[in-house]
Amino acid sequence: MKRKLYFCNGCFFLAIILLLSLIKTEQVVGQCPLPVPSLIPNPSGEILSACPTGENQVYLATPWFNASAKSPDYLNICGFNSHPQFSPPPTPTFGNGCFGIHVFNTSEATPLISSSVLEHEEDIGVCLPTPLIPGVGYTFQFHLTESSLGVNIRPDLGLWGTTNCSSNPNIITWVYLGEINTTLNSSIWIQHTFNFIAPSAINGLRIGISPQAFNNDDIRRYYFLDNFILNTNSAFQPPIAEAGPNKTISCNNLSVVLNGSVVNGAPPYTYSWTPSLGLSNSSIANPIASPNSTRTYTLNVTAANGCTSSDMVTVNVNLGTGPNWVWTGAVSNNWFDGCNWSRGVVPDCKSEVIIPGGTPTNPEIIGAAAGCSSIEINTANGGHVYLRTSQGGELRVTPGLWICP
C-alpha cells in the first residue's frame, strides 16, 4: 500500500492507493555545478601553439582550421585581439581567446573594404576525436557577439558536418546541417543553441555564415565566436538515477542484484551506494546485496559535469527470527535447504538447532558436513525423528547433543 498526499487550495486529503509492488522512493535530481563537457576539442581556443600576431591565424588554436576559401581569425589577449577594420569584442568570458569571421557581399568598394569583392566568407572548422553516432540527437551551443562597426543586415550562421575531416578544406565534403538564427549585441556575448540529428558518422564540423546570407546585397559584418559546446541532447538534461525495484531476500534467494541505472546527463557516470554494508561493491551500478536484515540503500549518481541525482531501493529480508534454528521440513528432507528451517537459512557452527517431532519430513545430511553449536531432537507426544547422514555426510555438533523425551 502506498499513500500519496494531494493538496488543493489550502486543503488536503489523503489518498490510499493499493500497489502490487513494494513502496518505491522517488528520485532526487541535484544541481549541476559545471557546464556540459564538449565533444569538440579546445572549445574556447585556450590551447594555442603561439600568440596570434595578425589576421588569418586560426590554425594557432589547435586543432581548429580554415574551412573556407577565405581565412578566419584567431584572437587572444596575448597578442592580436582586434581586427584592424572593426571594433574589438567584449572581454571574453571563457578564457583569453575567441574566433573571428568576416563576411561581406557587395559590388562596390567601401571604406571598410579595400577592393570590390562579390562574396567573402570566412568559416572555421574542427575535427572531432570521436565520430557522432548516426541517428542520435545532438545539441550545439556557442557564444556569439559582433563588431559595432558592421553594416546592414545581420546574416544567420550555418553548421556543416563531414565524415572525412581534414585540415585541408579542399578535400572535405561538407553536408549542411542547418541554419542557426542569430541574436546579436556588440556589447555582450549571447549563447546560441542549435539541435540536430546526426545523419551519419560525422567527424568534423564547420561553422560559418548561412548560405542564405548571400541572397542579400551589401552585407558587411564581423562576428566573434567562443565556447563551442557539443554533446548529445540527453547530456544537457539533468541525470536521473534509478535504483531499480525493491527486492526481497528469502530462503530461496539469499542475495539479490540491485538494478541501478541512469538516464540523461553527461557520461561517464560515477556510482555510489550507501550504506555499503551487505553489498559486493558500492561503486558499481549493479552490486549484489546480501544484507542480514531489511535495509534501504541510496544510489548516488554523479555525471561528468558534476550533476547529481539519487534514488533509493529497499531490500526486504523475509527470513525468520528467534534464537534457534527449528527444523520445519517444509519443502524437502535436505538439511542444506534454508527453506526447511524456521530462520530461512541453513544453520552453521554457531547455530542452536531444534528438530521437533511431527514435521512433514525428517532431515537428511547428504554429501557434506553440517554443523551447529547444539542440537535438540524432540520426540514429544510420541513423535519419531530420524536424522540420517548418507554419501559421506556428517553432522558436527559443538559442544553437545541433547535429546529431549
- Work out whether strand 308-317 and strand 247-249 pair parallel, antiparallel, or are unpaired: parallel
Are the folds of 21-32+237-317 and 58-234 the same? no
pLDDT digits (tens, 9 = 90+) for 124-175: 999 999 999 999 999 999 999 988 765 556 778 999 999 999 877 778 899 9
Q: Determine the 3-state secondary structure of 341 from DSSP.
A: strand
Q: Which CATH class is domain 58-234?
A: mainly beta
Q: Which of 224, 220, 67, 81 is nearest to 144 (CA)?
A: 224
Greatest extent of the chain over all pairs of C-alpha atoms, in Å: 119
* Residues across the chain: 405
pLDDT digits (tens, 9 = 90+) for 261-318: 998 888 889 999 999 999 999 999 999 999 988 999 999 999 887 888 999 999 999 8
More confident residue, 330 or 203: 203
For the chain, give every domain's residue range.
21-32+237-317, 58-234, 324-404
CATH number of 21-32+237-317: 2.60.40.10
Amino acid at 241: A
Q: Which of 114, 103, 188, 119 is nearest to 152 (CA)?
A: 103
pTM of the model as a whole: 0.64
Residue 31 φ then ψ, to 5°: -95, 165
pLDDT digits (tens, 9 = 90+) for 32-84: 667 788 999 999 999 999 999 999 999 999 999 999 888 899 999 999 988 88
CA distances from 321 to 44, 171, 208, 280, 331 (A): 63, 76, 72, 24, 19
